[in-house]
Structure 1
Amino acid sequence: MNVHGIRAIYVFEMARTGRTLLQSVVQPVLITCLYFLVFGSAIGGRMGEIDGVSYGAFIVPGLVMLSLLTESISNASFGIYMPKWSGTIYELLSAPVSWVEAVVGYVGAAATKSIVVGTLIMLTARLFVPYEIAHPAWMLLFLVLTSVAFSLFGFIIGVWADSFERLQLVPFLIVTPLTFLGGAFYSIDMLPAPWDRITLANPVVYLVSGFRWSFYGISDVAVGTSLAMTLLFLVLCLVCVWWIFRTGYRLRQ
């Protein structure tokens, strides 16, 4: 294992965060604060409790997950796309660094940034609503697994994209709508039939449900199912990344 190569990639990507601190950290936290003001205070004050949890506290896991997915994809996709765009990707491919080590460096940095943003959002939420974390270990597990899985997904998007427009296509047109429709702001039990069953086809439902269970012990689907779906998505992304480096898809052209 080339530890020096992993550290070089990781440190470089983390240093880029320092140069774009407002965009990478401050912006998602401020946007989430606006969500809390609008949904948690303005609307939440007029809504009753959901499964014994106030609406303001109920949306905390959903808002954290929304930022986590968006930031994981954005950080990882931009991290690998820039070497492709500038042509320095060939230096990486010719370096004594295996595909595993390269992925660990890029994805590890992207996941670290997302975890930091998610943690800051949870701390900021304390300023708006009181909440407790019933299962801290499970919360940390879902936080890390989701960050890694969607950072891998973002890495795939960064390899696939051939323009800055395509780089933003999947996060904004697919992932964000799926998150809003995945129970971030409501329980799927509140949906009328048959939409309460149809929405189970949305993979984000399992992420939000499992993460919310770690906070309050309530969920739309079984926590074991949520964990299994998260692990399945992570494995599928790993297989896809392996295939990309094996075939050189959009890396060697």
Structure 2
Amino acid sequence: MSFNIQSVKAIYIFEMRRAWRTVLQSVVSPVISTALYFIVFGAAIGGRIQEVNGVSYGAFIVPGLVMLSLLTQSVSNASFGIFFPRFSKTIYEILSAPISALEIVLGYVGAAATKSICLGLIILATASLFVPLQIDHPVWMLAFLVLTAITFSLLGFIIGIWADGFEKLQLVPLLIITPLTFLGGTFYSIDMLPPAWQTVTLFNPVVYLVSGFRWSFYSASDVGVGISLAMTLVFMVVCLAIVHLIFKTGYRLKS
């Protein structure tokens, strides 16, 4: 069966229009949260920590804040995007249509990643109102932004298929993604931790995402940029393999 671009476009446009219908939740809320982070952390911690790795504390936390929103929104958008058709039983119409698994994934994951990337850029613009920003490697910044959005949108797609209720839909983002992000160097450098905790922190995959993204801004990172990129790609490949297995077995799609 040839690639059906119209089916991808239909799913993509439908999901993007849904974002506009929930613009307050999708855009305004994360932007307000980011502003509050700057006010709270900038005032409470910024007064005590002037610089981290030669960068003012306010500017230092910008990449972490972008990643925090990017990860949570990518997972949330993609998981709800595929969960709702399962919940309303319209998923069977999609599965019975002449649409391949690749086209379904491209439509849902592509829309979720697009929304997350747009939100990330909006948060960057918001952050520039509070602190002066520098981006030493803009191409790498966009590369990490896109790769992370796609990877965690794939993860959200998996969660949306796995979840059998709205409670489980929120379980992974609230109990796993958000804590890992806070503990992944979002608001601090892992060099500030005791040696033993530095070793423990390296088992947190979010550390590599935040570190690589921060490097694209200030040419300074907790982990080598090559390792950060490799870990991101490995995580993406793992998610792709799981999605492939889901469609191959029909896990929670045909029952």
User: TM-score normalised to the size of structure 2?
Assistant: 0.98
Q: Distance in 2 between matches of 1:130 and 1:19?
A: 33
Q: Distance in 2 between matches of 1:8 and 1:202?
A: 37
3-state SS of the aligned residue for 2:46?
A: helix
Contact 1:40-1:59 at 8 Å conserved across structures: no
**Which position in structure 1 is the counterpart of 2:217?**
215
Residues 228-243 of structure 1 aligned to structure 2 (within 5 Å): 228-243=230-245
Contact 1:210-1:226 at 8 Å conserved across structures: yes
**Do residues 115 (structure 1) and 137 (structure 2) align?**
no
Q: Distance in 2 between matches of 1:45 and 1:120?
A: 26
3-state SS of the aligned residue for 2:195?
A: coil
Give the counterpart letter for 2:38 in structure 1.
F
CA-to-aligned-CA distance 1:174-203 (integer Å, 9 cap, x gap): 000000000000000000120011100000
**Which position in structure 1 is the counterpart of 2:48?**
46
1:134 to 118, 133, 136: 136
1:34 to 33, 36, 42: 36
Q: Distance in 1 between matches of 2:93 and 2:200?
A: 47
CA-to-aligned-CA distance 1:35-81 (integer Å, 9 cap, x gap): 01111234213312111100000000000000000000000000000
**Which position in structure 2 is the counterpart of 1:162?**
164
1:73 to 75, 84, 105: 75
**Which position in structure 1 is the counterpart of 2:196?**
194
Q: Distance in 2 between matches of 1:187 and 1:211?
A: 13
Q: Distance in 2 between matches of 1:134 and 1:42?
A: 28
Q: Distance in 2 between matches of 1:118 and 1:42?
A: 24
Q: Distance in 2 between matches of 1:109 and 1:182?
A: 26
Contact 1:41-1:56 at 8 Å conserved across structures: no
Q: Distance in 2 between matches of 1:53 and 1:185?
A: 13
Q: Distance in 2 between matches of 1:246 and 1:113?
A: 28
Same amino acid, percent of matched pairs:
70
TM superposition shift of 1:120:
0.3
**Which position in structure 2 is the counterpart of 1:151?**
153
Q: Distance in 2 between matches of 1:207 and 1:108?
A: 20
Q: Distance in 2 between matches of 1:106 and 1:231?
A: 20
RMSD (Å) for aligned C-alpha atoms: 0.6
3-state SS of the aligned residue for 1:201?
A: coil
TM superposition shift of 1:121:
0.3
3-state SS of the aligned residue for 1:44?
A: coil
**Which position in structure 2 is the counterpart of 1:93?**
95
CA-to-aligned-CA distance 1:192-234 (integer Å, 9 cap, x gap): 1200111000000000000000000000010000000000000
**Which position in structure 1 is the counterpart of 2:66?**
64
1:181 to 175, 180, 183: 183
**Do residues 250 (structure 1) and 252 (structure 2) align?**
yes
**Which position in structure 2 is the counterpart of 1:25?**
27
Q: Distance in 2 between matches of 1:76 and 1:121?
A: 20
Contact 1:135-1:214 at 8 Å conserved across structures: yes
TM superposition shift of 1:111:
0.2
User: TM-score normalised to the size of structure 1?
Assistant: 0.99
TM superposition shift of 1:131:
1.5
